Structure 1
């Protein structure tokens, strides 16, 4: 399996399949395509006749170019990894929340781009505040759910945690307050060895790749 991603410091979509693969212990190779600094991503899109966007997974002759589709593929290929919970009600909740992340939160995405290296306090706009309240409501759903003991949304780490991983970095990076349960989940996510590996790589990229429009937010 080969995963194509972009900058670890900035690419929120790249983080999602990467962290799922790492936490699940699934072997893969990776290639970073720094699309602001080279045309490698455009060439990848041309090669496979897909949008020039990351992430992309190449596996067993298959090309997957949507993050949620990738995570579903991993669940199907590695059912023993339990990337979705077994319980139907909990799995339905998790899938709904993951899909909402995939399609929503446009103000948070645009006004607070992921930047793992940088921490500032930025007052959220009214539009972002509405979305932060929605995040708190989602976390409350999981707090009320009948689920196994554990620090992640479904007890153990699952796809829904991977989908919201970039939100964790946005909250940390811009000092966004959501809820106590979100903060508890944030600490669990940061404690993952794989998340610390991602952070170290993001920090190491600073000497090679910087994108001013993201570094100068706020």
Structure 2
């Protein structure tokens, strides 16, 4: 059985991607969660991950690291990771790769923390641009392939790559126009997303650097997490 190493569910957007994909597609795996330590996590995570980061998938002793690589590894072994249609598959891969390599302002200015609600500080032009591009991308996929997911009628890898954005939308009150407006809630209502969210709220770990990023993002309105 696969072993998927992840970080805190409240914080770890990168870990969420393969986790929610495998849960939703019914790909069995053993979860091993290692909380982020204070300071550098490199030495701790190096015990199971070659690059000292999460997520990391281990298959029969062989480590596959980085969320994009993990998804491609799974796609070689399981149906439904990417769309069967060639055009939809090409679009989905492009959109997932863009999410993987771009949207820096969104990552930095709206860090993922499932259990908080934040009134964000005035948006920078870079963040506005990222949000505009997200809405544009989602509307394109939903219109092009008919929805309700980005590349058609089934949840797949491209949706998994944007799953962390939907938690950010919930935490920071981010909104989108057109068909994209309903997309975050659609993902948040998936059973696997509800499972991840409940586990994130139950965590009592607090990592100072992640908490500082949240405070820098805006005014904390509500903290729904279990008491540390």
TM over 0.5: yes
What is the match of residue 90 of structure 2? 92
Q: Per-residue deviation at 1:161?
A: 0.3
What value does the CA root-mean-square deviation take over the aligned residues?
Answer: 1.9
1:62 aligns with 2:62: yes
What is the match of residue 77 of structure 1? 77
1:31 aligns with 2:32: yes
1:58-207 correspondence to structure 2 within 5 Å = 58-79=58-79, 82-122=80-120, 123-145=122-144, 147=145, 150-154=147-151, 155-205=153-203, 207=204
Unaligned runs of 5+ in 1: none
CA distance in 2, matches of 1:109, 1:144: 26
What secondary structure is seen at the aligned counterpart in 2 of 1:182?
helix
What is the match of residue 222 of structure 2? none
Q: Which has the higher helix share?
A: 1
What is the match of residue 22 of structure 1? 23
Counterpart contact for 1:9–1:115, Cα < 8 Å: yes
Counterpart contact for 2:38–2:207, Cα < 8 Å: no
CA distance in 2, matches of 1:134, 1:199: 26
Unaligned runs of 5+ in 2: 219-228
CA distance in 1, matches of 2:198, 2:213: 18
Superposed CA deviations along residues 74-121 of structure 1, whole A, max 9, x for unmatched, are 111112xx1111111111111000000010001110111001001123
1:209 aligns with 2:210: no
Counterpart contact for 1:5–1:32, Cα < 8 Å: yes
With normalisation by structure 1, the TM-score equals 0.90
Are residues 200 and 52 of structure 1, via their aligned partners in 2, closer, same or farther at CA, if it must alter by over 3 Å?
Answer: same
Q: Per-residue deviation at 1:182?
A: 2.1
Q: Which has the higher strand share?
A: 2
CA distance in 2, matches of 1:203, 1:210: 15
Counterpart contact for 2:167–2:188, Cα < 8 Å: no
Alignment coverage as a number of residue pairs: 212
What secondary structure is seen at the aligned counterpart in 2 of 1:58?
strand
Counterpart contact for 1:4–1:31, Cα < 8 Å: yes
With normalisation by structure 2, the TM-score equals 0.86
